[in-house]
Amino acid sequence: MNKISLIVAFFFAVTTSFAQHKSTWIWYPGDYEVWLSNDMQNRRTERGTFFPPFWKMDSHYVLVEFNKEFDLPADEEISIYAEGKYNVKINGKMLPGAPAKVQLQKGKQKINIKVYNQTNVPALYISGKNVYTDHTWKATYEDKEWIDETGKASDQSGTTYVNAGSWNFDSGAAKPSTFRLPTRPQQAVAQGRQGKGFLVDFGKNTFGYLTFQKLVGQGKLKIYYGESKEEALAADRCETLDLLDVSLKAPTDSTLELSKAFRFVYVEPEGTVRFGQVGMLYEYLPVEDRGAFRSSDQELNRIWEVAKYTMELTSREFYIDGIKRDRWIWSGDAYQSYAMNYYLGFDAETVKRTILALRGKEPTVSHINTIMDYTFYWFLSIYDYYRYTGDKEFITAIYPRMKTLMQFCLDRRNTEGLMQGLAGDWVFIDWAEGLSKQGEVSFEQLLLCRSLETMALCAHLVGQPQDNQMYQKEAAILKDKLFAYYWNKQKNAFAHSRIAGQQTENITRYTNMFAIFFDYLNQEQRAGIKSNVLLNDEVQKITTPYMRYYELEALCELGEKDYVMKELKDYWGGMLKLGATTFWEEYNPAKKGAEHYAMYGRDFGKSLCHSWGASPIYLLGKYYLGVKPIEAGYSRYEISPYLASQEWMEGKVPTPKGEIELYVSKRKIKVISPVGTGVLKFSSKTLPRVNRGQVKHVTDHHYELLLEPGLLYEVDYTDAGK
Amino acid sequence: MNKISLIVAFFFAVTTSFAQHKSTWIWYPGDYEVWLSNDMQNRRTERGTFFPPFWKMDSHYVLVEFNKEFDLPADEEISIYAEGKYNVKINGKMLPGAPAKVQLQKGKQKINIKVYNQTNVPALYISGKNVYTDHTWKATYEDKEWIDETGKASDQSGTTYVNAGSWNFDSGAAKPSTFRLPTRPQQAVAQGRQGKGFLVDFGKNTFGYLTFQKLVGQGKLKIYYGESKEEALAADRCETLDLLDVSLKAPTDSTLELSKAFRFVYVEPEGTVRFGQVGMLYEYLPVEDRGAFRSSDQELNRIWEVAKYTMELTSREFYIDGIKRDRWIWSGDAYQSYAMNYYLGFDAETVKRTILALRGKEPTVSHINTIMDYTFYWFLSIYDYYRYTGDKEFITAIYPRMKTLMQFCLDRRNTEGLMQGLAGDWVFIDWAEGLSKQGEVSFEQLLLCRSLETMALCAHLVGQPQDNQMYQKEAAILKDKLFAYYWNKQKNAFAHSRIAGQQTENITRYTNMFAIFFDYLNQEQRAGIKSNVLLNDEVQKITTPYMRYYELEALCELGEKDYVMKELKDYWGGMLKLGATTFWEEYNPAKKGAEHYAMYGRDFGKSLCHSWGASPIYLLGKYYLGVKPIEAGYSRYEISPYLASQEWMEGKVPTPKGEIELYVSKRKIKVISPVGTGVLKFSSKTLPRVNRGQVKHVTDHHYELLLEPGLLYEVDYTDAGK
């Protein structure tokens, strides 16, 4: 069983996200996420020059009221910490000044605290025996509490209170505005003279703050960063650099201010500047190590490990695209990070933070990241989040912002009721040469349709039956149009677009592959798409891991897991063969040498550590270990393991209540789950034997075994493949 | 002619608001106003406790792009100052780093600069020979400038650019975020021992930072502020106080941090704390001294001077309500400050700043200050501003925010198409005992109707004919309803309200008096209102200077200027007789002694320096000096002087191009104007003689004289009164 142990006596770990009985800093929900993401996203530099995003960045409410009512069993003293000016009312009576300690009496106590802060996010922390701040406190940005000329207070029935936002700032001293990701020192693997300077190699792509031992002297210190050696040595073309003025009389251990991505660093001192070892402080988001995968195939293991490291690097304050260039939150990229995360750290907080930051605040004036498709992925991400975590509270909190964003989309439909790029709308789809964005692109209609279905599901969840019906109806109408306008019967596939009322001749992979895993097709249509599009080399190939993710997912859904396994090894294995230590933004096997590093018309424009490169984590977890929730939060789930070319594989898949652990060889399956009711689906040439439960024979070689939580199941069988 | 000289050789002064050819700090329009008003409005304390507003406070855009194109006659160097991180693009090419100096070449140069600042407002200042920042620069909060995979930039046709905002920060060193109002030292008139402390009297109500000469020792320093002596001495009930810990070994001249309003200060040192003279730094908004009024009536002169001082004190970063308590921007209060300002400092910048701060930003979630009527005054203030200043640029800039606010109002109408207080709407009208706010109050419909007319006027101004028609139609429909639902033919007056579809019996002054100066009535209706409402003591009396302003304006419009003059002297003279040094929030002659200081159920709750108390400035300027614009910016204007009980009066009324100067006695009128075409209207028992121009006989004793700019007119006549 190697490093992964299948524990029999299972402990039902309660994760911090779902139940905590301690004080934590609170704020108006979404505001800290907006503030922190502004900070993070404005750290991008391009060759030393500040390079901010090009979309609207929102701001926090500067004045927030927090309140909660308590019924105290005894007198107690509470401590109050606030970020900002504040006042305190107890049972409607204002206390003098801004008290740090308050004595509360036994019985009903209503606490109202207003915090004002224009610089940072107004935030509050209270600790006491029974009175402590957490997400159950209410918050508003306008309490509308006026008085009349006699001093009588208004009723505040027009005030909207929402649950406060929080994260993990659980100490009064840990002010949210001072938050920084943790770091740890990391050494270079080589440092050698080259030209007028030194080339430093950290052995693999990494992220953090460069350090210089015993930096001393007068003059410039020129630092050129490279995700490749070629980039670090191309002083005039590398994407990031630091040009520093050094003036140090005594040797001083120094750390640079702005974090960067690099494997190689080329350092050129001028004047009398000297230094010792160049090292770094590696900066990271602490995420629990939960998902795991190991297999008899060493290349696959290496792919999974590099994908995991790629995810680690791109999981920061929020899920970012890549570590070198943008370091921004892109909704389409983040959507894939969420999915990978469900098979890795199961870090619900970072998913929520990212979803909130992407949405920003009203008014809604453009698509998320200005990209039409990225708005739609945002909707899709929310129901996915619910399916994996079962966290209905978040859906309830975000639903109003979903509604207004959907209304923004519906208001932008043309007279045909279709989405077409209006001025300022970026129709992205994929980085692909010559891909047409003209007219009404079928892919955007498909994503809107799925988004409407998502709205209907969420409306039902939060108890809005009228909304539910409305969105269902809109989705049905649009789905009919999708087939009427875009389905090409001759080609047995969806056309790429419609221009001036006419279906275009072009067939692309996007709409066709998404329609498969959206389950929009009948058997004949599925077969048509499979042979005419997905397995047809005439159709423009996908070169980004971003869309490879969906292509391979579609092929898995079509039962082509042997083919996909080969593609996984070829494509991601191909990057490894080129020396990749993290996975790339784009990979075209046809290119050679340093050609691989170019993009956007720049020699080193490509990001070599891009979150969407890490999708093997998702594909291996969902389609080979074969674990997925059927109902929210794994209350019902399915395990359909598939070895493909592997002799054996084993792994862990996180759930809200611990990890499902699984071992699969051609003769043995072992599984234990901490949660819900599962169905293990497998095929066997022989009659399987199990240590517990009843195996059900479904059809041909196919069997099912019902799994109950906390019990180790062992199946002896003879793998029959598909 | 005393202090006011009628200059014959007139200089056409160009005011700074309308044409300036120098660098100034710029920002996204409205953002600095929002930021500064947040700062100002969150300085309120009540007995030492922070007391913020209860409505939504907005925030600035944290990332703003500024740009302008130039065609330079020669090479030039520019200097760049920014508040925030920034980058610079010249003709689409990014410059390295964040340059403080840039060399520009002769010819076409397009400059784009992005500034990011989460703490303060992103702001920019550029100085150069031809290139300098001013309100002609364009700004946006989302430039939508993405690139495709080849590096090709998107078209930015979806980006909305607006003219940059600015004020008077004309030096690169004068960063907008560091702005403070200026101060000057001011001495107390008396400082004497009283009880355990000292009572200090500043001789009149004032505002600023208390100073202590040679403060020394260990212990508490308790400071109680009073607009009255009674308040300063009521340690347990005064509205504002400071409780300071002193720990000074050497005597130190000290200034307090937070400005306060006071005439009297009671200071109680404890422990070994001692100090010398108590003084203050008087804090003020510098406003040009332009409007003037003097008369043979000394009481009237004193009223005008105290009103002027009241305006001076309540004109701060923005027009505030009063100096002691709220220090907030209230739309209804500010609306009156604007009007007074047009007859005093003619400070267009402070009007614009206040209008922008009140509007705040999208989304619109409640009425301005939460008050329905205050939203409507905001609309009315904008067309007024245009009428007095002729500044169409501001109307164009604010029009989009007017439209969205009006849509907010229209969306809140009930099924009858009428405004009725919904949850969270404060129907204020006036501080008046027992005033009903139930049902559909006629006053709110009247104000909405006038607001719709204002929208129509502004739509026409900014070239939006469809909007113009739509608003005209809405206004006409509502005006019909106003008469159909509220006009009571028996009482010949508007009813106060309508409840459950029925007109109520109650008649109040508000709707009736506004309908007069809105010119909504025929002669019979006017006469009815005059006798049945305005001159009818049975109808609940008005006790606030706030509504007295409108009541007296209505009476002036009805030709009751003799009556109004008497009221002016009785009411404002009444406050003076009680020792007022500034005018009050409310004055009820029936009250006695310290009763006058109570309000809101608190002994000293009333503000004794309230901007709405200063209305004699407006009434004397508009109805006695009789000067008002007929067309925007005084391009056409009218002067209808009226002496009433005065022997003579003289004054100056500011216009965008200097002051109209006027002297009027019972036998002589002298006038000179720097601007437009005026009509002097007067009545004479004898045939008037003039030094220039042609007197036109209109009817009975009424004459008109056409005035051309820059010429002194002298009229010999015999005043015939009405």
Inter-chain touch B61–A61, beta carbons under 8 Å? no
Structure token digits, residue B402: 């007017």
**If phi over 0 gives left and psi between -120 and 50 gives alpha, with beta otherwise, what is residue A323?**
alpha
List, for residues A290-338, the tens digit of each pLDDT value: 999 999 999 999 999 999 999 999 999 999 999 999 999 999 999 999 9
Question: Which of B86, B149, B258 is the best mutation test for A, with the most CBs of A within 10 A?
Answer: B149
Per-residue pLDDT, B13 = 38
Per-residue pLDDT, A18 = 39
Q: Which amino acid is at B84?
A: G
CA distance A597 to A599: 7
Query: B55 to chain A: which residues are within 8 Å by CB?
Result: 142, 144
Q: Which of A39, A51, A144 sits opposite B370 (nearest CB)?
A: A144
SS3 category, B82: strand
Handedness of CA A127, A130, A135, A137 (dihedral sign): negative
Inter-chain touch B59–A56, beta carbons under 8 Å? no
pLDDT at A13 over 60: no
Query: B42 to chain A: which residues are within 8 Å by CB?
Result: 63, 85, 116, 118
Query: A59 to chain B: which residues are within 8 Å by CB?
Result: 59-62, 118
Q: How far is B108 from chain A (nearest CA, A)?
A: 24
Inter-chain touch B146–A426, beta carbons under 8 Å? yes
CA distance B454 to A281: 62
Per-residue pLDDT, B145 = 85
List, for residues A546-576, the tens digit of each pLDDT value: 999 999 999 999 999 999 999 999 999 999 9
Inter-chain touch B146–A50, beta carbons under 8 Å? no
Angle CA(B460)–CA(B463)–CA(B468) in degrees, nearest 5?
Answer: 40
Per-residue pLDDT, B21 = 62
Q: How far is A38 from chain B (nearest CA, A)?
A: 8
Is the Cβ–Cβ distance between B461 and B395 less than 8 Å?
A: yes
**pTM for the full predicted model:** 0.95
ipTM: 0.94
CA distances, A73 to each of A70, B120, B499, B550 (Å): 9, 45, 47, 56
Q: Could you count the other beta carbons within 10 Å of the beta carbon of residue A711?
A: 14
- Give the chain B residue nearest A144 (alpha carbons): B54
pLDDT at A10 over 60: no
Per-residue pLDDT, B15 = 39
SS3 category, B48: coil
Query: A360 to chain B: which residues are within 8 Å by CB?
Result: none
Average pLDDT over residues A648-656: 98
Q: Could you count the other beta carbons within 10 Å of the beta carbon of residue B712?
A: 16
CA distance A288 to A282: 17
For B117-229, where are the E strands, in sequence order? 123-127, 138-140, 162-163, 165-166, 183-187, 190-194, 197-226
Q: How far is B372 from chain A (nearest CA, A)?
A: 13
Average pLDDT over residues A440-445: 98
Is the Cβ–Cβ distance between A406 and A380 less than 8 Å?
A: no
Which of A480, A497, A490, A586 is closest to A543 using CA atoms?
A586
- Give the chain A residue nearest B425 (alpha carbons): A158
Per-residue pLDDT, A21 = 61
Per-residue pLDDT, A154 = 76
Is the Cβ–Cβ distance between A433 and B166 less than 8 Å?
A: no
Task: Answer with the residue of higher pLDDT: A111 or B4.
Answer: A111
Q: How far is B198 from chain A (nearest CA, A)?
A: 24
Q: How far is A61 from chain B (nearest CA, A)?
A: 6
Inter-chain touch A362–B363, beta carbons under 8 Å? yes
Structure token digits, residue A37: 């993401």
Inter-chain touch B63–A48, beta carbons under 8 Å? no
Inter-chain touch B116–A50, beta carbons under 8 Å? yes
- Give the chain B residue nearest A63 (alpha carbons): B57
pLDDT at A243 over 50: yes
Question: Which of B31, B44, B59, B408 is the best mutation test for A, with the most CBs of A within 10 A?
Answer: B59
Average pLDDT over residues A369-388: 98
pLDDT at A5 over 50: no
CA distances, A5 to each of A298, A541, A617, B5 (Å): 20, 41, 20, 100
Query: B84 to chain A: which residues are within 8 Å by CB?
Result: none
Is the Cβ–Cβ distance between B660 and B675 less than 8 Å?
A: yes
Torsion on CA atoms A589, A591, A595, A596, rounded to nearest 10: -10
- Give the chain B residue nearest A145 (alpha carbons): B54
Handedness of CA A348, A353, A354, A358 (dihedral sign): positive
Per-residue pLDDT, B205 = 98
Is the Cβ–Cβ distance between B649 and B2 less than 8 Å?
A: no
Give the pLDDT means over successive 10-residue stretches in chain B (722 positions): 41 39 93 98 96 96 98 97 98 94 97 97 97 97 85 79 97 96 98 97 98 98 98 97 96 96 98 97 97 98 98 98 97 98 98 98 96 98 98 98 98 97 94 94 98 98 98 98 97 97 96 98 97 96 94 97 97 97 96 95 96 97 98 98 98 98 98 97 97 96 97 97 82
List, for residues A517-535, the tens digit of each pLDDT value: 999 999 999 999 999 999 9
Query: B154 to chain A: which residues are within 8 Å by CB?
Result: 426
Inter-chain touch A144–B55, beta carbons under 8 Å? yes
Q: Which amino acid is at B390?
A: G
Per-residue pLDDT, A153 = 79
Inter-chain touch B142–A602, beta carbons under 8 Å? no
Structure token digits, residue B583: 């005018």
CA distance B628 to B388: 8
pLDDT at A12 over 70: no
Inter-chain touch B144–A42, beta carbons under 8 Å? no
Inter-chain touch A50–B605, beta carbons under 8 Å? no
Per-residue pLDDT, B154 = 76
Which of B367, B359, B184, B206 is closest to B286 using CA atoms?
B184
Q: Which of A54, A87, A605 sits opposite B49 (nearest CB)?
A: A87
List, for residues A586-627, the tens digit of each pLDDT value: 999 999 999 999 999 999 999 999 999 999 999 999 999 999
Q: How far is A40 from chain B (nearest CA, A)?
A: 12
CB pairs under 8 A between A and B: 181
CA distance A314 to A316: 6
Q: Which of A42, A54, A63 sits opposite B144 (nearest CB)?
A: A54
Locate tokens 């391979």: which residue? A552
CA distance A493 to A443: 13
